[in-house]
Structures are given as C-alpha cells and as structure tokens.
A and B are shown apart, each in its own frame.
Chain A
Amino acid sequence: MAALCESFTLCGLGPSGGVGLGSGLLALEPGPDPDHVLLTDRGRTATLFKVSDQKPLGCWSVKHGQIITCPVVCNFETHEYIAVHDDKVLRIWKNKDINLDKVFKATLSADVYRIHSLPNGGPVVLFKGGGVRTLDVLLEAPQQEIENIVSDEVIKWSQAFMEGQQPVLIFATEKDGDFFVYVQRVKMNSLHKYKLEQQESKPMNFTACIKNQFITLLCLYSNDAVYKALIPLQQNAEEEEQILSKSLLLNLSVSGSVLKGTSFVVLDKDHIAVLGSLVTSGEESKECLTIWNTKFQTLQTSKELPLGTSGQLWCYEEKFFFTHGKVLTVIIYKCETSSLAAAVGKLKDSRAPDVSTFVNWDTLGEAELAASFQSQQSVPLKSEPKMTLRSRRNAVTKVQQDTLSVGQLLLNLKDASTTVFEDELRQLMSKAQMPDIQATIGCVMTAITDRCKANPKYYPQSFLVQIVQTRDLSYSLCPDLMVVALEKKDVHLLQICLQRFPDIPEEITYACLELFLSLSEAYLQSTDVNLESVICYIDVEFNNKEVKSEIVENGFNAELEKDSCETKITKETHLTAAGELCPVGPQKAALLNAVLQSAYSETFLLPHLKNLPAQQAVLFLRYLHYLHVKCSEKINTTLPGIRAPTVNQIMDWMCLLIDAHFTVMVMLPEAKGLLSNLHRFVRAQVRFYSELNKIEGSLRELQRLNHQKDIQTYSIEVLELI
C-alpha cells in the first residue's frame, strides 16, 4: 500500500517568504548530494536546500535585468552548478562562488530549452530547436552552430536517461494540435521521431522511464486519463515518423468524481502520483495530491490541498515537493509493492518493511513508519518502472488476434532449426507494444521448454536466463521451466527463478533445496552462481584469522556460557570456533539463500522436507546455525549484503527443519554436537533478551515516575471551555 506520511514546509514562497519573489517556481532539481534540492524560481534566483533540515545552504542570483530561463542543475561529477540566463548565456559555478557575475560565462549561438544532468553521463543541453549537445562538446566551441530539427514545433517537455553508458534524451513537441515525440541518443547521433496517435483530448503532461531497451512514455491527457506508449530504443530502420500507439493505463476517476490532473510522477512499477483538482459534479473542485495503483486501478491515498497549488509536482528520494499556498511543501510517502505475497505475509523481498523494523531498535512499536523510511533507501523511480498494461475493452479483439498470431507463429516454428527458432523468438519478444506481453512470453517459454523436453540435447541456457532476468515471469506462466532446469542441474537459472518467481510450489522449492545440497562443491565452483548474497559475511578458510579478530558485538556466545559449563570451557570454545566456519562453500551458500528467501507455506513444505536425506538435513541445519550466529553478531540481527536472508527467515527454516527431522536429529550421532551447540546458543540469547526485558521494565517504570514528578503543588494554567 502506498501512503502519504508526514509533511513539512521546506520554505516560504513569495515576497516575504524567502525565495521566488512571488512569481513561482521554475523547477526543482536534485542537488549535489542526497537530501539536497536545487530550487530555481521564475526570476533571478537559485537556492540549494538541505531537505531534512529544512534549511537553505546557498543562494545565487543573476544581475538585475537578467532572468534565469532554464532550471539550474548540478553536474554530479564535478559538483558544479549550471544555469542559463536570458536564453543564451551559460553560467557555471561552484559552491564557494558567491557572485554569479564573476563566474564562468559562455554565450551560445542558440536558445537553450533545458539542461538535463545525469548521474553518470554529465549534463546534456537541449536547445529550443531540438538540437542536443553534451556540455563537454558545447564548451569546446560555445558558438558552434546548432541545427534546428523541430522547425516550427514547440518543445513541451523533455527528459533524459542513461542507457548503458549513453545519455538518451526524449522530448515532446507540439504543432497545431499534433504532438510529436523525439528520441535522441546523444553519442550515437541517432534521432527518431514519432507522432502521437491523435485523439480528441490533448496530452497535458508527460513522464517517461526506461527499462530493458524500452522507453515507457506516460501521458496525462485532458480527458482525465493516463496513457502509456512503449518506444523501443533499438530501432535500426530509419523510418520516417512512425505513429506511436498508446494504451490506456489509468482512468483518473473515482466514484463519480474526476481528477483533473495537472502533473504526475511515476513512483514505482505499480504506482503513480497525480496532482490535480478533484471535481465532483455539483461541488466545488478541490486540489489534491493522489497516489494511484495502476495494477489494480485504484486510488490508494489522497491529500487535500485547500490552499491551492501551482500545478507542479516533483518527486525525489521518496518525497513529494509542491507549492501549497505560499509555501513549498514536502510530503514523505511510502510505496510498497502490492502483491498477494505481501498480503499473506510471506513477502519475498528480504528488505520488506516488516523485517526492517528490526533494524532500528528505538522505533520498535512506536514509529514503525519512520523506521521503514530509514531502511527503504531504494529510489522507486529507478527500480522497476515497468507497467502492467490494462487494455480497454475495444482493444480486446486486437489482443486476441495478436495471441493467435503468436500461437500460429510458434506452431510454424515447431520444426524450424535451433538458430532460426531462437532468432524468431527474439524478434517476437522485442515487439513489446503487444498489450498481452505476459501471455506471449508464457507461450514462448512453453515452446522452448517443450523443445527442450523433446530434444534432450537442446538447452538454450543463456537465452532462458536472459528472458527470466528481463521479464516479469512467474512460475505459473511457465511451469515446466524449473522442472527442466532441475533436470539439467542448471543452478544459475534456478537461483534466478527462486529469486524472481513469486509463486513457486513448495514441491519445486524442496526439489531445488535437495539438488543444491546434493551437488558437490567442486561441481558448483564451475557454475555461474550469483554470490552477492554471501560475499559480505561468508568466511572462507584462508582468511579465517582476520574474521576472528572482528569485534563480537553481542558478545554472549563465549562469556555467558561460563556459568553453565565450567570444565568443558576450553574445549567448547574451540568447538564453536570451528563451528563458525561456514559449513558450505560460497556457491552452495548463495543457492541455499535463494531457497531461504523464497515464499512458502509451512503446511505444504513440511511433508516434502521430511524426505530430505539425514546427512543433507544436518548439513543444512549446520548452515542455518552458522547464519544464525552470523546474524547475532550484529545488534540489528541482519546479515550484510544484498539479498541476504533475514533472521526471521532463518529461524522459520530452522524450526521447520527440526520439526521435519525431529527423530533423525535425536538419533544421529553427528547431529548431537550441533544440536547442543544450537541449544546453548539459543539459550544464551533467550537469557540475554530476558535481561533486556527486565531493563526495559525498569526503564518504563522510571519513565512513569518521571512523568508523575512533573506535577508541582501549585500552578496557574489556562483552561478553555468551548
């Protein structure tokens, strides 16, 4: 669920309020560091703010008579600021500069529309004529001639991305009610022009994101709907003016009232935020900020803004920025992926907020919201801006034709040679505009797995990995894929599947676990397994000594046990020291982590888990114990690294495994030492937590007493009765 959280004022606007002199804001751009924004007003001034402190850090103005015509941006590589005033004059300065008159100046030969600054690609300058230059190129010869591409079209909107190492610029123009979209890859000098499908209503605002070689362009239309168009980046044929077809993504209406949007931003693959006025027939319209779920077509949350806005909305680092009345307001929002798994509580993402509450001990139980914000530092805009498409009813017939044609195509390809088969499939997949892309991919995957089954020698591993990695697949779309991978012992693919599929049956999860445990370390060393979840914490034998010298933060595993076993102490510590080595190699550990993090239901997993051979069960338990010890080294009980399992997942699996193999564990001689180690460790922890519990009780009592002491024997207070 998405939610709007606390809001605060960043600064006042208007003559007395600090910035803007009442003429409004031109734009807000991210500053040189996180938590910083650059605010440019429609006058002469640019101001740098630290958002969390609500405090300006710097302010620069151009001379009287000059006017800043393009939002000031920050060059993230050099930490310089770039501004254009009076359309043509470029200024570049650093933090320490005070007077803009004395900083670097370059006069250009054409009017600048906007400068886009990209995190790794440097600033890109877009001219009003449609010409694009990187800043470096431009500064080599400031007076160079800039071509006019758009003739008499007017640029309405532009945005830039990095694709690979290249900046990509997309901008939209208008001429006589027709809208055109240009996509320019700056370094390759390639330019594509598209015409937007015509419609009675007009686009009012655009936003775009890029993923997998496709630009997703979202347009807010004046008929209160958001449309989506996909633009492929790899376009070889230089066709003239393709028509860009679009599909309805979202209708901005809810139970009789319509949201007249003025601007919008994409929050993540399922959520967009729209600022606009909510119009209910017969009532006065109210301006409000809303968050919509495009997957379920629902309004998630909204906030009324009774003082009015300027219609502009920016969003950086999980914060909305907009003018509200005479101030610039910041609202923090929270946006979680909506999924059934989240609802059931077995969310696959190990960094889910319910787990993250463990990170910040202070906020436990009190400020859960705040805690989850601190831990969720991923920027949703960049994460997965892929939209699931919801077609309108009139598109349905077309969709059926498409799938039919896909089906036919696949049928035709059944007997084609391997290379032809793969090429055709690649072709098919790149036609991403197809509204029912998921179903198509499902068909494709089925076709491949069928072929694999028919021909045991055929196994297009890299192709499969590519598809699984780039598409939002699920187990149910291609049920045979994992079975085939299991047969082929393709652990790499299995790892990706475990990480990506939300709906793997427990039977398959178990099969993966058994396979991973049974494979030899030597075999695994030759495989291409993603080790990102283990490299941060695993101890490999040769650097064991350094690892040992690390400070043990909780420190109870050795000390606390002293009282219980006096004589054995030296022996035992040796044993734990030996036990701290990871019982499996890094590859196997990474694979097991993938299993630990997959979603499951205990009832369905338990019967399968009983079939696990005893030796493997002990090995797995040993690994879980190792993880548990590792977790407890840190006070926040989390493992370092990306996609590392959480302590809750580890505990759940440990309980499950002991449940499933209770008698085996009791009988097996080699399990004895492990179990007693495990028991001792858990007991020490329980004791530690119960001590904490006592301290908490005492502290709370103190708190209570402190509150009561505050009351004095006499005071004069004000009481209002209404």
Chain B
Amino acid sequence: MGEFEVHRVRFFALVPAGVRCLACLPRAARLALARTDGAVEVYNFSANYFQEKVIPGHEARSVEALCWAAGERLFGAGLSGEIIEYDLAGLRVSRCVDGGGGPIWSMAANSSGTQLAIGCEDGSVKLFQVVPGGIQFERNLDRRKGRILCLSWHPSDTHIAAGSIDVLRVLDVCSGQTVKRIMVNYHVQKVKRECIVWSIAFLSNGTVVTSDSFGRVQFWDWEQGTLQESHTVSTSAALSLAVSEKEDSIIVGTSSGATYQFQLLPVKMGSLEKRWVRTKPFQHHTHDVRAVAHSSTALISGGLDAQLVIRPLMEKMQKKGYDAVLRKFTFPHRRLVSCARKARLLLFQFSQHLELWRLGSTEETGKDGQVLPLCRMPEHLLQLKSKGPEHIYCSCVSPCGSWVAYSTASRFHLYQVQYEGNSISVKKVPKVPKLLLPAYQLQFSTNSDSLFVASARGSVHVLQLLEPGGCKHLHTFRPPSGSPEAVYLLASSADGHWLAAVGGDWTIHIYNLKCFKHHCTVPMYSCAVTALAIHPVTNNLVIAYSDQQLFEFSIPEKQYTAWSRMVQNCGLHKVWLERDSPITHITFNPKKPSHILLHDVYMFCVIDKSLPLPDNSALLMNQSTLKQLPETARHRQLHAFKICKKFQPLLFADLLDENCLVMVERPVLDFKTQLPLPIQQKKFGT
C-alpha cells in the first residue's frame, strides 16, 4: 500500500490532571468526574464509556466534591467555598452560591435528591434545598470544632454521618443536634497521632463505615458507638470509599495506589449471619486513589496519576461485551492538538496556554522501521498564555499556519501569526465579533479564509477572516428545530461547500456554506459521535461512533453510501468492535480517495475501501504477518483495515501530504515523572 514518512512527536508535554472526585448518577449510566484542576467531565456508560461532556477548569475553582441531585443536575463544591451548579447542555458553570462556611470539603445529596449537605472548614454542616433554577440555604446543623472532611446521608434521610479529624459525628437532620460522637483514634499504639477520617458511608442498617489515614476501614454501630469490625488495608491512608446500591460491596482506595473490594458474605454457606470480608485487591494506579465509585456492575477508581479505571465485576456480567472489559482512561477523548498541514505546524493545547511548534525535516529516505537523520530539528515557535483564571476550551491553527484561535469560558481570541525568515510576530485581531460563548470547537476552512465556531444551543458561527488581521461575522447556523445542547464537533469540506456539526444530543446537522442553509440531518444513531470528517473528493461524511461503528454518509445524495451499507451488512471485525478507546480523529489522503485514515489512543489505522472487509476468522492486525510473507502471497491475506500499533499512546495523527504523517505520542512514563512522587514502596530486589 505504501510507505509513510512519520514525524514521531513526543514533545507535547501534556500532564493530565489527577482525578479528585467521582459521582455516579444513581440508576442511570452516567459518571461525573472532577479533576484537580477543576475540570468536570461526564462519562456515558451506555455510550461505551465515552467522555461525553467536558467542562474545563478554573484556576480559583477547585472541586472537592461532586454530587447529582434532583434528577440529572450536577453540583460541585470546593475550597472556594462556593456550591456550583453545572450546565451540562451548555458545558459551563450555570450558577454559584456561597456556602457561607469557608472552604467546603465535602458535599452529599440525600436519597431523594432534594437536599444538599455540605461540610465546611469551620466545622459546620449546612443544608441547602435544591429548587428549580438553583439552591437555597435551609439551615445550619450543630457546629463543632474541626473541618468536616466527609459526609454521608442515611438512606432514610433522617441522619447524617460526618467525618472529621480524630472523630466522627452523627447528626440528626430534624433536630440538627449531634446525636453521637465517636473518637476513632482511641488507643492507637499509645502514640498520639492525628487520625483523619477521609471518607464515610452510612448504611441503612445503621452501620457507619469509615476509612482513615491509618489505612483502616472500620465499621461502627452508631447507636451504641461501638466498633464492629476493623480492617487494616494499607500501611498508608485509606482515602476513599464507596458503597454499592445494594450495600453488599464496598470499594476502598488507598494512597499506595491499591484499591480493595469488601463484600458482605455469609459466614457459612447458607448462614444468615454475614460479615464484611476483604475480597479483591487491585493495583491499577501508581499514585493516591482519591476517588472511588461503585456502579451496579463495576468498581470505578480515579487516582492522582490521572487514570480513571473501570473494573467490571465479572460476577455481575451476563455476557462478554463492552462492559466486561477493564478500561483505563488517561487521556481525554478529544483532540488537544491541531495541525497546519501546509505550514507543517502543530498547535498544542494546555489548560492555560498554547504552544506552536514547527516540525523538523529530513532529506533521506529509508526502509520500514528506519529512523531517518534529521536535517532540521523541530522548533518551538510560540507560546500563547491565556490571561485570566479560566482554562482553555478549544483551540485551532489554520491550515496555512497564519491564524491561531482559542476560546475560554468567557472570551474568544484570534491571532494572526506572521513568519518573516526566522522571526515570528503575533498580532491579536482586535474587535472580534461578540459571539455566544464559550466556543467548544474551532475549525478553519481548508483555504484558511473562514473560521467556524461551535457554540451553545446547537449554533455554529461562521467568521470571515480578512487581511490584514481582521474578521467579520458572516452567519450563524442553528438547527431548524432548535437544540439546548452545545455543538462539540465540526467538520468542513475541502471545497468550502459543506459543514457538519454534532451537538450533545448526537444529531449531525449538515449546512450548506454557499447559500447558508441547513442541508440535511444524518439519520439518528443511538450512540455518541467521537469523530467525523468530510472527504475532500467525494464529499462523503465519515462518522465514527463510540460503539466503534463507522458510517459513511454522502452529503450530496443525503444518504448512506453503498460502502457504508456494506459495512453494516457484513459487520465490523469483532476485535475492532471490542476496542475500548474511541476514534478521536479522521482524515483522508486526497491522492488516494479510497483511503480513510483514523486513530485512537492505541492504534493508527488506514481503511482501504477498495479491499474486502476482514471476517471474524481473519486476523485483524495482520501487518506483521503480511510483512513476513513474500509479495506474491500477500494478496490473499489483504483486507481493508491496515492497523499500526507502533505509536502509543497516540494523542493525534494527521496526514501532512501524500506520504507524510505526523503522530503525536505522550508516553505515560514521561508524564508520570512529572507527577508528585507516590508513597515509596519497597520492591523486591532493590
């Protein structure tokens, strides 16, 4: 098929932020996650664990606790002392309410989702009522000394257990009084050390479960104030715990990176007496596991090593499928890199700045696997720092390399970059049109004369770029029937005729750019779109869904293409469908119209539509086999999927020209070395 010159880039110094807290939406397949930089993400279990929504962070707004309340409303609270409600359709903070008790360390919603309790620095527990359009302060409960680090409602909503330093309290919601106070560090080795209750859970039978800085998981009878059971799981702290809805299983996360499952099991077979038994240890993380969650079928843990690990409970699995696979997510399910093909530039997006790099070059050619000598090294051209506390939502560099745009929650910036020999000058475009912000995706047209801005409520703005350094608002597309959801993916055609936009409701709208009209809607598919692109020659829209299905939709003909139907009829290869990371980028080779280039974190793939699809008996990743075969024997083995797994983890891949690729890798070890050191553990033989 061909040889590519691959620019293997490993200088994108992205350090994903650690996971701070997790919250499972009860009885629905969604997981909310907050990172240490204040970003909030929502994963959709039914869409193959796709990272469906991302609300970038804010310097001053850390998130210490997340909870779902009143249906599907998501609240966060943090050390800024504010309770934040997130707008999940518009992907932004919808409102903030001051808690009034200093930094907030913990927050919990009652079982009906009508009340929020927050634990504050000043030792108070405050109740807020969730009302339509916001939250209302209700009252203070009994205040004692010591910050409230964790909270848990009793399922009957009558009591709240609160964990603090050296002590746990049970508060009566009606009277607001502390009805029990239990010292947790009573007689620990005579050495008087502070014992921090990191996490707490209130079970319906009146048992309070705590995990503390001594590495213990303890079960208390709150009415008697007695310790029922104590399990030491770690020599370091047990930081987090979560209970399953049936209250028969607990997951505990520790600062050594290990997680443990406790299960409530009969003492004897058939016996009614049950005890908590530590059953399964897991070591998926290298750093503190600050957050755990327990869904009905999986143990979920998030660590400061930025990993989200979803470990399915095999006994709850009916069949082998998406849900039965261990998943580890480290990198976002969206692009943080954009590429100026013609100018050979890469734009890297960090949380608060952008970096522009020029790729190196070589004059040599070589054989497969060879590393070519460089005649020019890559060059760091530019660093653009975003002003203000807000993190960057999205960014883009134009194909010609002379425009760079980015957006934060409240501001949109457009820069013109000029290259004169070795010097480079950046000019900010003044007076950008007032748009509906934030922008979720930016996309320059192929000829770099217009910019498409994906925005809230399904709208897409078209800006015309003017020389020297100006821009004009041309049009705003809106879906004909309206939509509350923000547009998160865009694709424009090379001939400047078509624009495809996907919103949070997963509908794909296609607009005609020549006459600024809505052209059509791609038939609904019940899964999230992870990437889409329009073919430069045929104007076919190629769509990748989070369930790993691929569709090809002809825009001029407003229908799926014959190849797409054939793919649906034959079905994709089993191994392809079982992959766990979504396709994040699709591109094409204009010289070879039958090729589709796409990638996820673990592989780069070229689909050759002219070749037959592999059936399940064939080897999907057959490149190494093919390389061993003589030329003549290869023919029978060829199939459409040409997969390369050499570059991992792959954050971005694009085609620069006919046989030149750029691959941006971020080796996990590289950013692990930039994380704070985990607790030292002695390994055998060292």
Contacts and interface: CB of A to CB of B under 8 A. Distances in A.
B570 interface: no
A722 B1 CA distance: 5
Interface in B2-56: 2-11
B4 A721 contact: yes
B250 to A, nearest CB: 36
A713 B11 contact: yes
B290 to A, nearest CB: 28
14 contacts: A697-B685, A714-B8, A714-B9, A714-B10, A714-B377, A715-B371, A716-B5, A717-B370, A718-B3, A718-B372, A719-B6, A721-B2, A721-B606, A721-B642
Contacts of A721: 1-4, 606, 623, 642, 644
Contact of B367 (A708, A713, A718): A718
A721 B643 CA distance: 8
Q: Which of A693, A698, A714 has the most CB of B within 10 A?
A: A714
A722 B377 CA distance: 29
Nearest to B11: A713
Contact of A719 (B4, B374, B377): B4
A335 B360 CA distance: 55
A720 B368 contact: yes
Given A694-B685, A719-B368, A721-B642, A714 B627 contact: no
B10 A713 contact: yes
Interface in B346-370: 360-362, 365-370
A714 to B, nearest CB: 5
A712 B8 CA distance: 9
B368 A718 contact: yes
Contacts of A719: 3-4, 6, 368-369, 644, 646, 661
A716 B6 contact: yes
A715 B664 CA distance: 11
Task: Give the 8 A-B CB pairs with smallest separation, nearest first.
Answer: A697-B685, A720-B368, A722-B626, A721-B642, A713-B11, A713-B10, A716-B372, A716-B362
Interface of B: 1-11, 360-362, 365-372, 374, 377-378, 606, 623, 626-627, 634, 638, 642, 644, 646, 661, 667, 669, 684-686
A170 to B, nearest CB: 46
B625 to A, nearest CB: 9
A565 interface: no
Contacts of A720: 2-4, 367-369, 627
A713 to B, nearest CB: 4
B522 to A, nearest CB: 29
A694 B686 CA distance: 8
Given A698-B686, A711-B10, A718 B370 contact: yes
B650 to A, nearest CB: 13
A712 to B, nearest CB: 7
Contact of B638 (A693, A714, A722): A722
Interface in A617-651: none
A274 to B, nearest CB: 28
A368 to B, nearest CB: 24
Interface residues of A, number: 18
A701 interface: yes
A321 B682 CA distance: 56
A708 B626 CA distance: 28
Q: Which of A697, A698, A718: most chain B CB closer than 10 A?
A: A718
Contacts of B684: 697
Contacts of B360: 714, 716
B10 A712 contact: yes
Contact of A718 (B5, B361, B638): B5
A472 B667 CA distance: 65
Contact of A698 (B4, B11, B365, B685): B685
Contacts of A713: 9-11
A718 B3 CA distance: 7
A717 to B, nearest CB: 5
Interface of A: 693-694, 697-698, 701, 708, 711-722
A719 B623 CA distance: 11
Given A718-B372, A719-B661, A720-B3, 14 more contacts: A697-B684, A713-B11, A714-B360, A714-B377, A716-B5, A716-B7, A716-B360, A717-B371, A718-B5, A719-B368, A720-B367, A720-B369, A721-B4, A721-B606
Nearest to B627: A722
Given A694-B685, A701-B686, A718 B6 contact: yes
Contacts of B369: 717-720
B173 to A, nearest CB: 55
Contacts, number: 86
Nearest to B646: A719
Nearest to A696: B685
B643 to A, nearest CB: 9
B378 A714 contact: yes
Nearest to A700: B685
A715 B662 CA distance: 10
Contacts of A698: 685-686
Contacts of B623: 721-722
Nearest to B373: A716
A717 B306 CA distance: 30
A409 B369 CA distance: 77
Nearest to B622: A722
A697 B5 contact: no
B30 to A, nearest CB: 38
Given A694-B685, A721-B642, A722-B627, A716 B11 contact: no
Contacts of A716: 5-8, 360-362, 371-372, 374
Contact of A697 (B368, B667, B669, B686): B686
B153 to A, nearest CB: 48
Contacts of A693: 685
Contacts of B2: 720-721
B365 A718 contact: yes
Contacts of A697: 684-686
Contacts of B4: 718-721
A88 B411 CA distance: 103
A720 B369 CA distance: 8
Contacts of A715: 8, 371-372, 374
Nearest to B637: A722
A716 B663 CA distance: 10
A714 B371 contact: no
Contacts of A722: 1, 623, 626-627, 634, 638, 642
B642 A717 contact: no
A121 B377 CA distance: 70
A697 to B, nearest CB: 4
A697 B683 CA distance: 11
Nearest to A693: B685
Nearest to A694: B685
A103 B365 CA distance: 54
Nearest to A721: B642
A708 B361 CA distance: 24
A462 B644 CA distance: 75
A692 to B, nearest CB: 12
Nearest to B684: A697
Contacts of A708: 669
A693 to B, nearest CB: 8
A717 B6 contact: yes
A623 B374 CA distance: 68
A221 to B, nearest CB: 37
A446 to B, nearest CB: 60
A666 B369 CA distance: 66
A160 B3 CA distance: 59
A192 to B, nearest CB: 55
Nearest to B375: A716
B121 to A, nearest CB: 43
Given A708-B669, A711-B667, A712-B10, A718 B685 contact: no
Nearest to B625: A722
A102 to B, nearest CB: 50
Nearest to A695: B685
Contacts of B5: 716-718
Nearest to B7: A716
B10 A718 contact: no
